[in-house]
Structure 1
Amino acid sequence: TSGSTGLPKGVQVPHGAVVNFLDALIEGLELDGEHTYLATTSISFDIHVNEMFVPLVLGAQMVLAARSQVSDGTALRDLIEAEPDLIGQGPPAMWRMLLDTGWRPYGMAAVLCGGEAFPRDLAQKLTRDGVPVWNMYGPTETTVWSAVHRVADGEGTVPIGRPIRNTTLWVLDQNMDPVFPGVPGELYIGGEGVARAYHDRPDLTADRFVPDPFAGHGRPGARLYRTGDV
């Protein structure tokens, strides 16, 4: 991950966190093996995890887009339109590139959008054909996506949504106390998806991964990840 610094950092994500993420995503989005899954993401970007492993877990078909197709709106549109009942994932820029070619999402089983803030105008264009559209939120440090929200047609500002299974979201002040609704605070993420550490960065690990005061006695050593998002 590079986060806001632009400098790559290795993140140690345990297998159990990935398994929890895949199970939670399949359950929360009601995914099944009858659909075809589009893979457009480089393996250097963490969101490739669900593109690669969800179809393997479900025994479903995966369509792997070539690098040249991912950067060419017309080529990617042709690939998508050739595969009915497709579930695709990508950042807002990818979906906007497709729309700029005249593409419409009808025929797709679902559209997953994440990696950046989901602009309202883009959400309205993607939801107008009745296809399920999901906003996906989460940093690499908490295993790909930590919260999801199904976007309603005509919705205003798109929220990050609710936490996936076995995940907690807390908006806290500088004293690690929950803030009242409407009061600004920093978003902390806890639960099964929290990574172990940054690779060879103990200083940064200590700063960003902090003890979870809300975990209770059943989860000794549990930690929260400080996202830096307000």
Structure 2
Amino acid sequence: MILAANEFLRHADRSPDAVALLSSQRTWTYRELAESALHLAERLTRLTPPGSLIVLDASELSAGVLALLAAGLSRRALLPLDQSYPQARCAAVLGDARPVLALRDNGSGGGLTVDALPHTSQAPPRTGLEDVAYVLYTSGSTGDPKGVAVSHEALGARLGGLAQAPGLGAGESMLALTALSFDISLAELLLPLQVGGTVVAAPAKARMDPDLFAEVVGRHRPDVLQATPSFWRLVVAARWKGLTSSRIWCGGEALTAPLAQRLLPLAAEVWNLYGPTEATIWASAQRVIDPGDIGLGQPLPGTGLHLTPLKAHEPAEPDAETAAEERADGSIEGEILIHGAGLAEGYLDREELTADRFVRFDLPEGNRRCYRTGDLGRLHRDGRLEFLGRLDQQVKIRGHRIELGDIEAAFESHPAAREAVAVLLPGDEAAGRAAEVGLAVVLAPGRHTTARELRKWAAERIPRAWTPGRMTVMDRLPRTPAGKTDRLALRERLFAADARP
């Protein structure tokens, strides 16, 4: 964050009275926020050695939180902690991370309190992270939290790239809506300060309340609104009228054609963004013009995307018919690799995992350190890169290769459906249970249908072998604090429920 902090301080020096932060409590100028940031940096220097890991425990964005980020942490690393996570997960994260101290929002809208954290002699507080800007814990599909360490250099490079594409300019504003434990929040908080813009702070409740979201957006009219597809579905279902002067950034999950179709009339621009935590916020962006053509777009400046051969990841070769189709259209499928200045350093204390996921490859640009995303992509003849889902969601059941994304799209096309999520339910030989696909469908407000009717609809659109073995209609999907679908929780729910037809 040091590079971002330098840009912020330059803007504070040139335009001290410009608005840096708009919140429900008050308005903060660049001068006021810079003074708070420098004071906090001095305080941290007195309290902790360089390279210390510091917990940020706050549910709401405040001037103190923003000052902490803008201060660049004086060679300290930040660990955002989400208070909505279960206590056991928070304990597991803190035990693995071993932070030196915690900074907590004191509720005044501007200050942070300092709390010491207990440690054992076997696990001393973590230091030695002078080059690390922040650490974020991610579980992926395993449910096992692992800390992703992102350097000051990677963060600075990514913010510089985002300022160019999708783009944010001096004097523009961006809504800060996302929980601090989700890395896209850093774009909302730091990108406006880097370019001389304004952060518009939304209350935490707005993440689940589309009416409150609409009220905040209508009052402040931010230039950029960023959220996950799950959140945008919630907003669209609540009949949000849109803000046609704004630009929507959508990422964190796959953007579907039906959702894109509904978002396009609501804003001046709609952008599909792609990138895992290990690639620092986002790695590529595409402006969506045609809902039927949603790809990953172009890599952000300083970033590259490539594919590895698909057959290296498949347990069996595709059948001859599939292979012929792939040769005929000229496309190539494989795991998406990301390289460039935005890559994370790796995982805390996970040398083996780091070595497995961050690998050097010989690419057209030369030998590069790449992150193996675990995402499946298709490169078309015309250069378009299409996201096909997770490699661990490319499943084979009874000899059939099943695309979970295609199953979801078929059910989402039903007029009564708002969202559909398919998951693989592994088999258990001891229990006599075969592997199968589970599906949850959320209905649009005021719409009614049954699982049987939805199956009949999908039977005309997907192969019989793809039909979900377990299916349920739900009021809402389980979510992570980042707003994504909690697929682990959904899998457990489908296992526990009698969700068969």
What TM-score, normalized by structure 1, do the two folds share?
A: 0.90
Confirm or deny: 8 A CA contact 2:245 2:267 kept in the other structure: no
Q: What is the match of residue 183 of structure 1?
A: 332
- Residue number among 288, 294, 311 corresponding to 1:158 in the alignment: 294
Report Cα offsets for 1:21-73 as digits up to 9, x if no partner: 11111112231122221011111111111111011112211111111122111
Distance 1:85 1:51 in 2: 11
Q: What is the match of residue 92 of structure 1?
A: 229
Change (3 A) 1:129 1:79: closer
Confirm or deny: 8 A CA contact 1:105 1:131 kept in the other structure: no
1:3-18 equivalences under 5 Å are 3-18=140-155
Give the deviation of 1:84 after TM superposition: 2.2
The higher radius of gyration belongs to: 2
Aligned-pair Cα RMSD in Å: 2.1
Q: What is the match of residue 28 of structure 1?
A: 165
Report Cα offsets for 1:75-127 as digits up to 9, x if no partner: 11111111224311000111111112221323342000000000111101111
Distance 1:191 1:151 in 2: 24
Deviates more, 1:63-72 or 1:200-209: 63-72
Distance 2:243 2:203 in 1: 23
1:205-220 equivalences under 5 Å are 205-214=354-363
Q: What is the match of residue 437 of structure 2?
A: none
Number of aligned positions between the proteins: 224
1:68-79 equivalences under 5 Å are 68-79=205-216
Q: What is the match of residue 189 of structure 2?
A: 52
Change (3 A) 1:216 1:133: closer
Q: What is the match of residue 218 of structure 2?
A: 81
Q: Secondary structure at the match of 1:145?
A: coil
The structure richer in helix per residue is 2
Structure 1 segments (4+ residues) deviating >4 Å: none
Report % sequence identity.
Answer: 37
Distance 1:133 1:107 in 2: 11
Structure 2 residue runs without a partner (length 5+): 1-137, 314-325, 377-501
Q: Secondary structure at the match of 1:213?
A: strand
Change (3 A) 1:129 1:45: closer
Distance 1:68 1:29 in 2: 27
What residue identity is the alignment partner of 2:350?
A: R
Q: Secondary structure at the match of 1:93?
A: helix
What residue identity is the alignment partner of 1:115?
A: G
Distance 2:243 2:373 in 1: 35
Change (3 A) 1:50 1:101: same
Change (3 A) 1:25 1:38: same
What residue identity is the alignment partner of 2:232?
A: W
Distance 1:108 1:83 in 2: 12
Q: Does 1:201 align with 2:350?
A: yes
Distance 1:129 1:67 in 2: 23
Confirm or deny: 8 A CA contact 1:9 1:198 kept in the other structure: yes
Confirm or deny: 8 A CA contact 2:284 2:298 kept in the other structure: yes
What residue identity is the alignment partner of 1:224?
A: C
Change (3 A) 1:216 1:168: closer
Report Cα offsets for 1:182-214 as digits up to 9, x if no partner: 232111111111111111111111111101322
Distance 1:8 1:127 in 2: 36
Distance 1:99 1:175 in 2: 40
